[in-house]
Structure 1
């Protein structure tokens, strides 16, 4: 018999001659290079993360950060006895963030790392609920605690449902897209555990007026003796405003702010899986929330919803803090606002769009949100444009605004570290390409257009080559429906 040599080409190896396991747990093992290639090739269908302008999360890391993540794969951050120096880096980060947010006693304040801002937000909410219990629980006849907020990220709806708390969302005024301070007091009562102020709204990127909300609650306390704390959901703004709008008062400089959550893996520049919950003072974190465990080799305190979790994200967050410092963060974060303003100017110059938030660091996070002008009928809606941009690899969210404004649709592009002016130029060119395509070939066959205007763009400005012709009939009926 002839000996048949083993194939020396990867794609001739056993395992690549059949489809990848899908329905059940596989029986046979594979060569590691074969298993890797299967997974690697399937992931080619994913998008390019740096072109995903719908995500708030970090999509670019330098080589040193990647090395630290790789070196920390086996570190369980909850095991402070086995990994004491990882625990020390976490403590340093807590003190640094507390100092950044003007804690009155940063070296000794309470705080923790989390898997993200959602977990941190829930910890802040639970602390507020426990403090409410300690002060008597409000109206014992109802016994149902509540919190007051404007348009919020879904984690707060989860908090309300999972922890049996009523969520009281203030309806939007006709001329505003955020919670108005004048509307807060009317929604508060003895069962209100906190007011959640959103410092970087998900829908538009705008900041809510935390200082104005605090003044409104101060006035409420003077007339009713209700002493209602504020929790600031600074998921994105918490690592932007301290560097780009340091005169903006939103943090622990306001005595009524008792806790703040933020995502390290958003504008904090850490990799995915890093969040922070910080309390104004140690007394603001009820001791009932802290668990002492000793089965990992030593007694240690923990107050997280998760238990075992990787330590690399905190290690890399500390690396970013000491690598950049205040001056470096100010330089890096100011640059992304510069790119956001460039993108907003290009969109505005096109003509059909109204800019909702154009990257002003005193008004919101480094994002651009826009909508079609009411008086113009372009023959397409923002969902159509979002679909066209996907064909070029861009993922940009289009969605209706919150309740009482749900008939209005916006698009929002998050400008993150790693998104450059040149990438903004490429995006503007693709927006123009998509608009021209949609005007020439409307997605609804009843639309008629004898001649589409078309748009042009150069390296410094985006301007319409001529006024686009109106579509007949109106597409407003489609503008509020997301395409399936």
Structure 2
């Protein structure tokens, strides 16, 4: 309380002196269904949310995700400023739009795209990750195929797309959403990717495109794009078709140009008509940015490009989304000019070296078979003997140390193969690899001990036991958890974790 010159007693309304954990809000449930009636102090709201988020996994220890978890402070500052700008409002934020166009041009140049006609921008666009980019490219392939069929007076109601069963789930989404038959070639335990031989029998006159992957999410392998490309070119010449190649370079597009510049996979191959790449993976930008690029303007149907003017001027738009912040576009441009080819090359080669180191350490343990091909900063491995414990048991044990290492069965044709994968991102050092291996060895010793004592429940056995317990729960509790137990019982995991 304070007393003024007239000796009038006043009660302060300033509550900033209240300790955060002495506030009333901290003695109540955090709102989760109904918006609260009253406000709370910013510092209390922040702390409450921070406490909830503290139970999330540590991004630095997340070996599952390809997505970038480190950027320069300077980039973060620029990106924070960019969050306030609605990227779609190109007329108001002309310089941000210019940075976007520069990114498209630089990446297209990196992928050896032909130089567009004078004063014309390169056909391409920033997207919300490679999922949106792939959907846009599938739409472009479908529309180009349909137009050719209509011009020839042929039916255009049964489009199909050819890929390997190892594709990421966004391919399934694109085909289902846009009514395209997804023709997947089975893989095998000894070859986890699409090959020209596997793709060939799936292709016909209704094929809108063949889609090899530069960096499979399962084992990081680069599919032989040139071999697949040449097979399709020969088919086209024989049958009078015009089936294009689309390269899903979500993971490898920012790797191959710096680690294997002579590898032919990009626009140097004349029938590669479109490419997608994830800026938020090895493009080294935080989550939320991908890029879709076409070889030449005629490869992107004009009918799919919309022109809007209600935000202040004529704007060309070819996206599935509309409003979004500008931060990731700014972050991508920052990386391209700050790192340059030299910086990207150093980071990718350092990642490859650290992956080689980790791969050798795992081989030295004598327990694992390496299933990656060393094409990316990534190590994928399987147990030689899974009779005592499985990769799923190892995954669960590693969580006790905070490590997030995915374990999953492979795609159709190789379902019997269960593997683990470690993505070696730019902030994964050799010292980090040593810590991971040490904790992996600890986990193995623990599992060996349990197996020797007969106490280890394998995944399927554990699921059966948990199902018995689950059946005794209340109906609402059962329905809440059944999906999780079923997921575990089948030793299934979300395929193509990115």
TM-score by length of 1: 0.89
1:264 to 279, 288, 305: 279
Partner of 1:69: 79
Partner Cα separation in structure 2 for residue 438 and residue 139 of structure 1: 65
1:112 match: secondary structure: strand
CA contact (8 A) 2:87 2:93 kept: yes
CA distance in 2, matches of 1:404, 1:171: 5
How far apart are the structure 2 equivalents of 1:174 and 1:483?
Answer: 17
Contact 1:378–1:439 (8 Å) recurs in 2 = no
Which of these residues, 430, 440, 450, is aligned with residue 441 of structure 1? 450
Task: Give 1:220 shift.
Answer: 1.3
Matched, 1:338 2:353: yes
CA distance in 1, matches of 2:450, 2:189: 35
Of 121, 124, 130, the match for 2:143: 130
Give how far 1:186 is off. 1.3
Q: For 2:371, what is the secondary structure of its paired residue?
A: strand
State which of 38, 41, 57 in structure 2 corresponds to 1:28: 38
Does residue 366 of the first structure (1) align with residue 377 of the second (2)? Answer: yes
Compared CA separation, residues 295 and 418, structure 1 to 2 (3 A): same
Q: Distance in 1 between matches of 2:452 and 2:318?
A: 52
1:11 alignment partner in structure 2: 21
Partner of 2:171: 156
Q: CA deviation at 1:93?
A: 0.4
Per the alignment, in what secondary structure is the counterpart of residue 441 of structure 1? Answer: helix
Q: Does 1:283 align with 2:298?
A: yes
Whether the aligned pair in 1 keeps the contact of 2:136 and 2:292 (CA below 8 Å) is yes
Give 5+ residue unaligned stretches, structure 2: 2-8, 458-487
TM-score (norm 2): 0.86
**Other-structure match for 2:129:** 116
SS in 2 for 1:15: helix
Task: Answer yes or no: is the 8 Å Cα contact 2:447–2:456 preserved in 1.
Answer: no
Distance (Å, rounded) in 1 between the aligned partners of 2:201 and 2:492: 34
Deviation at 1:4, TM superposition (A): 7.8
Give 1:338 deviation, angstroms: 0.8
**In 2, Cα distance between equivalents of 1:164 and 1:249:** 31
| SS in structure 1 of the partner of residue 281 of structure 2 | coil
RMSD: 2.2
Task: Report the CA distance shift for 1:298/1:21 in structure 2 as closer, same or farther (over 3 A).
Answer: same
Look up the SS of the partner of 2:212 in the other structure. Answer: strand
Aligned partner (choices 389, 398, 410) of residue 389 of structure 1: 398
**Unaligned 5+ runs, structure 1:** 449-477
Q: Which runs of 4+ in 1 moved over 4 A?
A: 1-7, 137-142, 443-448
Which of 150, 158, 176 is the aligned partner of 1:144?
158
Aligned mates of 1:33, 1:280 — CA distance in 2: 51
Q: In the alignment, is the contact (CA less than 8 A) between 1:108 and 1:282 conserved in 2?
A: no
Shift of residue 185, structure 1, vs aligned partner: 2.1
Q: By how many angstroms is 1:71 displaced?
A: 1.3
> Are the aligned partners of 2:273 and 2:299 in contact in 1 as well (CA < 8 Å)?
yes
CA distance in 2, matches of 1:242, 1:173: 28
Distance 1:405 1:121 in 2: 25
Who is 1:412 aligned against? 421
Change in Cα spacing, 1:446 to 1:315, as seen in structure 2 (3 Å) is: closer
Shift in Å, 1:481: 2.5
Aligned residue in 2 for 1:424: 433
| Alignment partner of 1:38 is 2:51 | no
Q: Contact 1:290/1:303 (CA < 8 Å) preserved in 2? A: yes
> 1:302 corresponds to which residue?
317
Alignment partners' CA distance in 2, 1:245 and 1:444: 49
Count of matched residue positions in the alignment of Structure 1 and Structure 2: 449
Structure 1 residues 479 and 33: CA distance shift in structure 2, 3 A = closer
Offset of 1:105 from its aligned partner?
Answer: 1.4
In structure 2, relative to structure 1, the CA distance for the partners of 1:257 and 1:348 (3 Å cut) is same
The Cα of 1:327 is off from its aligned counterpart by 1.0
CA-to-aligned-CA distance 1:286-309 (integer Å, 9 cap, x gap): 001100011111110100000001
Distance 1:384 1:140 in 2: 55
1:100-145 C-alpha deviation (Å, 9 max, x unpaired) = 0000115742000011111001111110001001101589557210
